Amino acid sequence: MSTTEPDALLGPADIRELAAALGVRPTKQRGQNFVIDANTVRRIVRTAEVRPDDVVVEVGPGLGSLTLALLEAADRVVAVEIDDVLAGALPATVAARMPGRADRFALVHSDAMLVRELPGPAPTALVANLPYNVAVPVLLTMLERFPSIERTLVMVQAEVADRLAARPGNKVYGVPSVKANWYADVKRAGSIGRNVFWPAPNVDSGLVSLVRRTEPIATSASRTEVFAVVDAAFAQRRKTLRAALAGWAGSAPAAEAALVAAGISPQARGESLTVEEFAAIAENKPAGTTTGTSGATDSKPSGAVETTETSGDIDSKPSGAAETTGTAGNEPSGSGE
């Protein structure tokens, strides 16, 4: 832990001053919400268990509230920001408020969904406040492309946090739950109130912890093949798997055969299956059928299109943007900050 001045972090007045100087006017209509509480960002860093030897990647740093707190604790921070104005201002903010750590900071001015490499040593942790609309695609894409990331803590809208951490049988268990569990052990790690944002959103936010699996899922099927089964199963989640997987397998009888071979009841539904069971189905796909296209090709990121899941699963917005239009009250959790 570095020795930085107590006032190095940004407070409410600092955030407003920076926003005014940059001509940034956060509004609920534009979906901009900046974290203004130093205690909250330090809490996020503690919950993320950031270590002095960590290389942390942050997506959507905004004005730099969390960035500065991460620099207090980590060896190095790499921030990915798509917004031209915010990306241009952040290095100067770091240099002014934490000059002794400025050489430990790097900025990547890009859409996080397009980033395939990062400067410097490989990242060991991902800590970010993710915009609501793109939270799931960004999270899954980062975990896929940067396998060196061992620990992740993201702040997202509470509903999305619940879905990511849901277990089989839970009513909100779905595509994000299964795909996140492919990479990591996932759990809820706390809640964040509305009053730590400026402007205050109309929804609550939640923290989600993901610890990378030490051993990958034991399966002969590829991630692409498993994710194709997941997408198909939840595309028609009210149907039995025999019916829901008919398109994936080529026919309902072929789907039933694959399910029976995997040891799964054809009358079961997707929300009752573990990621391991989805993998077992993928292993028994009938010969001669092709992999589905929804989230199932290596040309797309691993959560890019989730057409039947309505919270944070559609890659329709830039992933590092300070602006986003969430579907619940148009409020992202921590967007742009």
DSSP letters for 294-327 = TT-STTS-TTSB-TT--SS-B--S-TT-S----T
Rounded average pLDDT over 19-39: 77
Query: Is-contact 25 15, C-beta < 8 A?
Result: no
* Percent of the residues in the chain that have a pLDDT greater than 70, as a whole number: 81
Q: Which helix (H) or strand (E) holds 180?
A: helix 175-183
pLDDT above 50: residue 205 = yes
Structure confidence at residue 305 as a pLDDT band (50, 70, 90)? very low
Q: Which helix (H) or strand (E) holds 80?
A: strand 76-81
Instruction: Measure the CA–CA gap between 115 and 130, rounded to whole angstroms.
Output: 16
Short-list 192, 195, 177, 191, CA closest to 312: 177
Question: Which pLDDT score, from 0 to 100, does residue 289 have?
Answer: 66
Q: Is 334 helix (H, G, I), strand (E, B) or coil?
A: coil
Task: Report in angstroms the alpha-carbon separations of 207 from 19, 20, 42, 98, 211.
Answer: 25, 29, 13, 26, 13
Question: Which pLDDT score, from 0 to 100, does residue 5 have?
Answer: 52
pLDDT above 70: residue 10 = yes
Instruction: Measure the CA–CA gap between 222 and 218, rounded to whole angstroms.
Output: 10
pTM, rounded to two decimals? 0.85
Query: How many other C-beta atoms lie within 10 A of the C-beta of residue 258?
Result: 26
At residue 112, what is the residue type? A
Name the more confident of 254 and 306. 254
pLDDT digits (tens, 9 = 90+) for 85-122: 999 999 999 999 999 999 999 999 999 999 999 999 99
- Residue at token pair 């410097």: 120
Instruction: Decide: residue 78, CB within 10 A, 0-12 exposed, 13-18 middle, 19+ buried.
Output: buried
